[in-house]
Amino acid sequence: MATAKLKKENSELREEIALLNVKLSQVTKDFDKKIDKYVEQESGYLAEQTKSLNESEKKSIQFISDQYDVFAKFKENSMKDLKLIKSQIDITGVPQQREAESAEETTALCIKLLHAIGATDISEYDIDIAHRVPARQRTHMPNAIICKFTRRIARHRVLAVKKRTEGLKPAQLELPSTIQMGDIRIYEHLTPRLQELLYEANKFKRAQQYKFCWVKNKAICLRKSDGAPVIRLLKLDDLESAT
């Protein structure tokens, strides 16, 4: 039964990723075609008109050119962000024994965690780097971890078993028995905007005694209790509808 469920989750995850890739590819192609067509048309026109332009018109053309450069840079950065999102996961609640934890120590701890939840085929060669992210405000909670994989298939395998973190013991992570194990969670890597939304959603969950808070398809989801309707959050204002 567990194997069938895991296969189903893997299949659904692959389908979602494939659909996102198709949509992104189409949007990129359409965008490039429109930009190329625009540049081609404007270049020919500008070449003919430049000689008779006054100073105000020249400034307008320079403004358009600058805006195009900004837009092109935005597209380049967006593609880089998307690549990072597809190769990383966020892990919260993993005990932190000392503040100055090295990347090597964090990576080793991640591997122990992933093995403990069933991703036993993940090795140090599958992880490019793992590091703690300092919290915006000092709390008693351990700093979150960002784990970057060298292969997307390794990340997919981890996400397929991400729900198995409940009830882990210190010994499974080779930690002292005196370590207090918190609520460990594994999420898809989020943009800064969604990271802030997840942070606020978890605060809301604790304050309003909601039972579930999770990430799905680049949205934050809340559920009051078993069987209750799912509240899908895309922006901070959406939290108001959950009250």
- Phi, psi at 130, each rounded to 5°: -135, 135
Mean pLDDT across the chain: 79
Q: Mind listing the pLDDT tens digit for each residue in 147-169? A: 999 988 999 899 899 889 888 99
State whether the Cα torsion 61-64-68-74 is positive or negative: positive
- Give me the pLDDT at residue 133, please: 84
pLDDT tens readout for residues 52-90: 556 666 666 666 776 666 656 555 555 555 555 668 888
What angle, 0 to 180 degrees and rounded to 10, lies between the N-to-C axes of helices 2-49 and 55-85?
170
Residue with tokens 């930009």: 35
pLDDT of residue 29: 73
**pLDDT at residue 45 is higher than 80:** no
pLDDT tens per residue, range 171-185? 999 999 888 888 898
Contacts with 102 (C-beta within 8 Å, 6 or more apart), sequence order:
none
Residue 118 in this model has a pLDDT that exceeds 90? yes
Question: What is the structure's pLDDT at 180?
Answer: 84
> Is residue 114 predicted with pLDDT exceeding 90?
yes
Residue whose pair of structure tokens reads 């934050």 in the numeric block: 220
Is 112's pLDDT higher than 90? yes
d(CA 110, CA 17): 24
Greater confidence (127 vs 243) lies with 127
- Cβ neighbourhood burial of 18 (10 Å; 0-12, 13-18, 19+): exposed
- What is the Cα–Cα distance from 9 to 185, expressed in whole angstroms? 17
Domain ranges of the chain: 87-189, 190-242
- The highest-level CATH class for domain 87-189 is alpha beta
Q: Locate tokens 């192609």: which residue?
A: 29
